[in-house]
Structure 1
Amino acid sequence: MRKYFITGLLILVPLAITLWVLNLIISTMDQSLLLLPEAWRPAHWLGHNIPGLGAILTLLIVFLTGLAARNFIGRRLVLLWEGMLTRIPVVKSIYSSVKQVSDTLFSPSGNAFRKAVLIQYPRQGSWTIAFLTGAPGGEVKNHLQGDFISVYVPTTPNPTSGFFLMLPRADAIELDMSVDAALKYIVSMGVVAPEMVTDKKIITDAAAPKN
């Protein structure tokens, strides 16, 4: 009886969480309908709300924005809009930071998380998985003696929050696993173990991001 109950939980819990996350995403995207004038909203002329229409509208807006930004006029409008935002003191700092992160994460040529690595954190003898994001640059690089790398240490079960660290290259061990496998391992809090690692090595210059 107990085994059957646990088996049922193992099947239904991931399904329930997946459906809950999808419902949360769709419900959030449905809020985009509130941007339309009341007379244009589907609920006004249909008499009731249809879940998912806001998600479709959001995806359509994103697609049309990207389509428009690919031509000459669209690029000029984007540059004009960004120029206006960068003239506003507080907005300038927020927008510039968010844009740099989004360009790194969503650009087709971007490589936000280059490799999964193993580092000692938060103390010696305590190990955690981190992601190689690059190398220190600018003034920070001038204050660091030796060969350093930049890594992102995600938290669990929510890997979107975490810590940014700069540490000596020799203190990081490259893992022979994909970034996706490492993320699954982190999100599952170590329950979903990746395949056996057969090759561990200190990150070499070849694996280091180019300046």
Structure 2
Amino acid sequence: MRHINATYQLVVANTKCWIGCQCWERSCTRGGCHKQNEWRGFKMNIKVFLKTSLLGGVVVILPVALLVFIARWLVELVAQGLQPLIRLLDPDSTLQLYAANGVAILVLVGTCFAVGVLVRTRLGGWIYSILEERLLKRAPGYSLLKDTVKQFIGNETSPFSSVALVRIFGNETRVSAFITDTHPDGSYTVFVPTGPNPTSGNIYHLKAEFVEPIDVPIEDTMRSIISCGAGSTLLIEASEKE
């Protein structure tokens, strides 16, 4: 009976200790309670990963969806204006809608080509710059849409097309980074992504002496970040060749 009572008291004490810990994993002994916070940290990491991944996906998909939506809207708008002409030319055709869409696409492509040729001239470029500064840049979403189009078909350098090894701690420790901007004084603005999720990171403004641009494809650099540093040999070898 005395043995049963002692066992019962031990179970009650351990149960109270388990409840008081309020954590996922616990090891309770007669000498006290040992709390483990691994589960709490794991949940926090999962939360951050889901949030940054979702935001990263939105940043990529939203501009593309906006571009597709506007292109489709323009095609439908021009096609509706051309349908009376298509009916006049071929009133019995069952492919009037497809013909109108095809002609609309050709009209839009021709218009883009004509505008492109125009803005390459001195007068056209001047008119476009005035129009952009005074009107277009004030339109909501114009800058975002313009940057998105440049990413797909433009010839300008992408914000994340330049790779570098940078020293952000003032010593010989180097981290993988992407050069996002250069400044008249020779300094750089760089983005240092986190691994294995490169959609989040930190932005640094560094003097040229702390930035070492390297000739490595952005895809290989992203792959090394996602794989937690595996494949970084390419970056180190490129640094030694410079």
TM range (shorter): 0.3 to 0.5
TM-score, structure 2 normalization: 0.40
TM-score, structure 1 normalization: 0.44
